[in-house]
Amino acid sequence: MWGRGESVAVPPTSRGRLGQRGSLTEGDARDSFATWDRLVCYSRRMKATKRSSISILAGVALVALMVSLPAATEAKVRKRTVSATINGERVSWKGRLVIFDETPGHGFTAVATKIGGTKTIGFGCGVLLEGQPLPLTATMCNATYATRRGNRAETWLNTGLDPGNAFHVTFTSFDGSVVQGTLSGTLLSATVRDGSTLTMQGSFRGPLRR
pLDDT (tens place) for every residue of the chain, 210 residues total: 444 444 444 444 333 333 333 444 444 444 544 444 444 444 444 433 333 344 444 444 444 544 444 434 444 447 999 999 999 999 999 999 999 999 998 899 999 999 989 999 999 999 999 999 999 999 889 999 999 998 899 999 999 999 999 999 999 999 999 999 999 999 999 998 888 999 999 999 999 998
| pLDDT at 203 (0 to 100) | 98
Say how many domains are in the chain.
1
Q: Is residue 53 part of a domain?
A: yes
Angle between helices 53-68 and 26-45 (to 10 degrees): 170
The residues pairing with 149 across neighbouring beta strands, listed in sequence order, are: 152
In the prediction, which pLDDT does 74 show? 44
* Residue 1 placed within a domain: no
Determine, yes or no, domain membership for 6. no
Residue 123 lies in a domain: yes
Give me the pLDDT at residue 7, please: 41
Q: Is residue 19 part of a domain?
A: no
Confidence at residue 186, expressed as pLDDT on a 0 to 100 scale: 97
Query: In this structure, what are the phi and psi dihedrals at residue 125, rounded to the nearest 5 degrees?
Result: -140, 145
Q: Is residue 11 part of a domain?
A: no
Query: What pLDDT was estimated at residue 198?
Result: 95
Other beta carbons within 10 angstroms of residue 177's beta carbon come to: 10
The per-residue pLDDT for 2 is 44
- What range does the domain containing 204 cover? 26-209
Q: What is the pLDDT of residue 105?
A: 87
- At residue 6, the pLDDT reads 43
* pLDDT value of residue 35: 47
Residue 21 maps to a domain: no
7-40 per-residue burial string, b: 16 or more CB within 10 A, e: under 16:
bbbbbbbbbbeeeeeeebbeebbebbeebbeebb
- Domain for residue 159, yes or no? yes
